Amino acid sequence: MKDQHYVKYRDLGLSIFFFRKQKGMTQQQLADKMDVNYETISRIENANTGISMDMLFDLSNALETPLSELFSHAQI
């Protein structure tokens, strides 16, 4: 992840956190739906790693939330 994009990744992570909590899901439950480790979800939500488009599509599906809504909430 480029340093210049850190704020956007942080805001996206907060958006993911918001929608996950809104659905009443733990990181583990979201990770299980996406077939990834819960640490992956933690790193994404805390902007400790970048996220691929494939992962974004999977995340959107698992949260049943359109990508546009995730980005809009993050103001990206």
pLDDT tens profile 15-28: 999 999 999 999 99
What fold is seen in the domain 3-71? 434 Repressor (Amino-terminal Domain) (1.10.260)
Domain boundaries, the chain: 3-71
Q: What is the pTM of this model?
A: 0.92
Residues 6 or more apart in contact with residue 13 via CB below 8 angstroms: 44, 45, 46, 47
- Which tokens hold the place of 8? 């956007």
How far apart CA 27 and CA 2 sit, in angstroms, is 25
Residue 1 scores a pLDDT above 80: no
- Which tokens hold the place of 61? 């599906």
Distances (CA, A) of 17 to 26, 32, 53: 9, 16, 18
